[in-house]
Structure 1
Amino acid sequence: MAIGDRARLTDWQLTVEARARRTRADLAELDGIAGTERERRSAAESLAVVDRVLELQERWWRLPAAWWSGWHIERAWRALHEAEVCTEAALPDLAGRMPSLRQRVAAYLPEDDLRRQALDMLQPGRPADTADRAIVVDALRAAFDASDDAHAAARALRNKMVAAAVLLFVVNTALGIVGLLRPEFLPMCAHLPSNEHIQACAAGAKTPGPLDVWLVQLLGAFGAMVAAVVLLLRRRPSLSPYVLIGYQAAIKVLLGAAFAVIGVLALSAGVAEGLTCITSQAALLLWAALLGYSQQVGTRLLDNYADRVMDHVRPLPEVSR
């Protein structure tokens, strides 16, 4: 791969490239060792797949489909994992690497998994025989399969969030257009407690105006952005090939705008009469921002689920060299 191509690599591609390079270094140690021809051939074929994926330059019109399906990410990782399995199982110093292999497998296989239990029973000080290597292959493949399945789960969640964000954007745009054309359909106003015949509207007028809905959505989005910033601050960095935090933030902002419109509409209908005290336009806009932040109640469930998914999708650590 040329230097110019490497400059365009993303984080997950850099990780795959580095691990593929180290796997090739381990594979070189097998040259001339009898009985490792099959493993070397299988590892070399898998590394060739990794190289083709990293070097592939998609046509621009195919990029959206490739991004949506994630085939290049998952194919590269699966091929790399297969190459690592074949290489690790054939190395002459497999017994010495047993503690690192156990740590690797423990990240994805539960304690009651028979393959993990069999791997834990192997003795690091005893030279590995054919049966030991078969146990290592089964345990590593099971752990890598779980990691690869987690990649697919993260991609599915990302695609769902993208679809939800697009739908929310369409709904918010439709609400804004309705408010622009027929302001009386979505009155973003509230009656003042001092005089029920006088209203305080979002844009400052006494009657619903064409910019009321857009202004309420803007304030609701601002309130939701506060929650998005909190999410950004508490999220730790990750080398996962799928990063969900941007899509989570987008849903928060769009949902905050929608919540603000619905909430102010409820205030206009007098649903919260007695619980709120809106005495001016500024008070109404403040409530719009607070209602936008209230989306955090619902999206917190999404944040917790996304955290669980990302905990499983992080790449497995490498065996210590």
Structure 2
Amino acid sequence: MPGSAEAWQVAACSRIAALKDLAAAIEGEPAAVEDARELLSRAKMHLAEAEGVTEGRRRPVRVGASAETSAHTDAAEMLLLQAAAYEQFSAYLPEITHRVRTQLPPADPRRERFNETLRRNRQDKGPVDREAAMAALRAAREQHLSGWARVRALHRSLLVTLVVMTVSACVLAALGALRPEVLSLCFESANRTTCPIGDTPRPGDVAFVELVGLVGGALGVGAALRRYRATSAVSMLPFTCAVLKLPTGALCAFLGLTLMTGDFLPGLGGLDNQSQILAWALIFGFAQELLTRQVDNRVHQVLQEATEPPVSLPDIDQWDDLLDQRLSEVEANVTATVGDLMQDRIRRNLRGSAGMAFAGAIATAVGVSVQRSLRGPEIIAFSGFVKVTLHHPDGTSVEADPAGPTLAPDSDYTLRVRVSTEEPAEDAAPVTPSEAMAIAGKTGEAARFALVPEIEGVTARPSRREVGVQTSQGTAVCDFELHTPARQGECPGWVAIYQHTRLVHIVRFRLLVGAEA
């Protein structure tokens, strides 16, 4: 590949090489069936097409070559994963998991199905459902491509706008050169006429003012580039947005001075020297930032949606491991730091073998004390059930269908969470069926829980409640006031249950906000 290859070409060649290695490994399997060989042959055709587009063998590298190469490599990857043996497919699972969790939102049903098959694999040590994994990977690919489709659509719109603005500036400069008295930018004072060039309208007045406005737009480009955040995305969108400021600055300079010559802006007319005219042209050119700032924000938003993963909470089965890991890291760091400091200080103050032994004993005691304080109270063992129901303000239950209860927009409801040791009777329309909750810990008479509801777009008051439940034949009920949003749509939510700051259970559900409620 030539030394001037773009970044996307280097990345594409690297991916093509990796997929070729996978194809060679699959082809080397003696147990490959005829269907797998057919899939392998089709994958090689896609890789050959991608390689040709990337290196420009079939035709020169052009606009859209990056998207075409990505489409061919994605198709080849899907075919190879279908043809691969299970051992080769399972070796590729970490890559699939990474793409699914960084490109699909947490509420996507295909991601949830993939997480469920991973959870069963960890528990039962059985094979991963390949169809679920492939469906999730295909959805992640579509999500990724849709983000870049929005980038390309916005880029085309900016290119059209750039051409229109540039042509408009050139047409005005040409009209000013042909008829300088018609597009006059001269200011009349008591005893003289002041123009951008000389004392009378000249053919170069409009072009000169637009040139000064273009310089002001260039200053705006520098200010905009300072706001752009570095990204690994290969896109000309920020560059096009920056170039758009130049003709916009030229037009703003011309239009601003035109308004001033017509006394449209009170108090800003009556310029009596060329320096003032040029200064105002520069100011108006830089003022294009007021118009293009929204374009900058839109460009940043679209690029961020296309290149950054969706904000999501960890999957349910990762909460305990994540919290335990963070707690152990803090305990280890604080214990080591405090222990070392105490040992050094005591050893400096005490001398002799007895003093050294005493210092070591104190340092050990301090470390144990720090560990206990970090852990907090021990978890109380509890075995019972959790149930979530919805009620109208008058206390009647909200009816629900299999997709979840439907609520009216901009209305008040009551979310009721029941924690009990015995399975409660089924209501007519519960938000969630009774879920078993088993917590390992030391034996105690009562367990204290903190309940925290989180529902997308829905306001819950209060945001947290604490209840105590007897570990034998105990029941506790918590009510939260909900206010639904004015917009209609699905609102995923959950109730997180904590015991002594440690997450012990999550109840997930979905609410529907619709006019038919």
Contact 1:240–1:315 (CA under 8 A) maintained in structure 2? no
In the TM superposition, 1:63-78 aligns within 5 A as 66-67=62-63, 70=64, 72-78=65-71
CA distance in 1, matches of 2:277, 2:25: 72
Which residue, out of 148, 151, 157, partners 1:151? 148
1:205-263 residue CA offsets vs partner (Å, 9 max, x unmatched) = 22222211111101111111111112223323444343212211221101110111000
Contact 1:239–1:315 (CA under 8 A) maintained in structure 2? no
Match of 1:174? 171
1:272-304 residue CA offsets vs partner (Å, 9 max, x unmatched) = 121567442111111111111111112112112
Structure 1 residues 128 and 240: alpha-carbon distance in aligned structure 2, compared to 1, 3 A threshold: farther
* Structure 2 residue 131 is the aligned partner of structure 1 residue 138: no
CA distance in 1, matches of 2:176, 2:192: 20
**Matched position secondary structure for 1:102:** helix
* Structure 2 residue 111 is the aligned partner of structure 1 residue 116: yes
What amino acid is the match of 2:207? W
Structure 1 unaligned spans of 5+: 317-321
Contact 1:108–1:147 (CA under 8 A) maintained in structure 2? yes
Which residue, out of 304, 326, 345, partners 1:311? 304
CA distance in 1, matches of 2:308, 2:2: 20
Which residue, out of 177, 196, 200, partners 1:202? 196
What amino acid is the match of 2:55? E
RMSD: 2.7
Structure 1 residues 128 and 215: alpha-carbon distance in aligned structure 2, compared to 1, 3 A threshold: farther
Structure 2 unaligned spans of 5+: 310-517
Which residue, out of 257, 266, 269, partners 2:259? 266
CA distance in 2, matches of 1:265, 1:285: 13
1:85-126 residue CA offsets vs partner (Å, 9 max, x unmatched) = 344563625446545433312333222111111122213646
Match of 1:222? 215
In the TM superposition, 1:23-172 aligns within 5 A as 23-30=19-26, 31-32=28-29, 34=32, 36-37=36-37, 39-57=39-57, 66-67=62-63, 70=64, 72-88=65-81, 90=84, 92=87, 94-95=89-90, 98-121=93-116, 122-123=118-119, 125=122, 129=127, 132-172=129-169
**Range moving further from structure 2, 87-96 or 292-301:** 87-96
Structure 1 residues 108 and 138: alpha-carbon distance in aligned structure 2, compared to 1, 3 A threshold: same
What's the offset of the Cα at 1:145? Answer: 1.7
**Matched position secondary structure for 1:29:** helix
Structure 1 residues 191 and 88: alpha-carbon distance in aligned structure 2, compared to 1, 3 A threshold: farther
Which structure shows the bigger proportion of residues in helix conformation? 1
Higher relative contact order (CA 8 A, sep 6+): 1
User: With structure 1 as the length reference, what TM-score do the two structures score?
Assistant: 0.82
Q: Identity of aligned pairs, percent? A: 26
CA distance in 2, matches of 1:120, 1:86: 22
Contact 1:42–1:86 (CA under 8 A) maintained in structure 2? yes
Contact 1:219–1:257 (CA under 8 A) maintained in structure 2? yes
Structure 1 residues 132 and 6: alpha-carbon distance in aligned structure 2, compared to 1, 3 A threshold: farther
What amino acid is the match of 1:283? Q
CA distance in 2, matches of 1:216, 1:240: 37
Match of 1:211? 204
- Aligned residue pairs total 300
* Structure 2 residue 5 is the aligned partner of structure 1 residue 9: yes
CA distance in 2, matches of 1:75, 1:214: 42
Contact 1:150–1:309 (CA under 8 A) maintained in structure 2? yes
User: With structure 2 as the length reference, what TM-score do the two structures score?
Assistant: 0.53
Contact 1:82–1:141 (CA under 8 A) maintained in structure 2? no
CA distance in 2, matches of 1:93, 1:277: 79
CA distance in 1, matches of 2:13, 2:308: 13
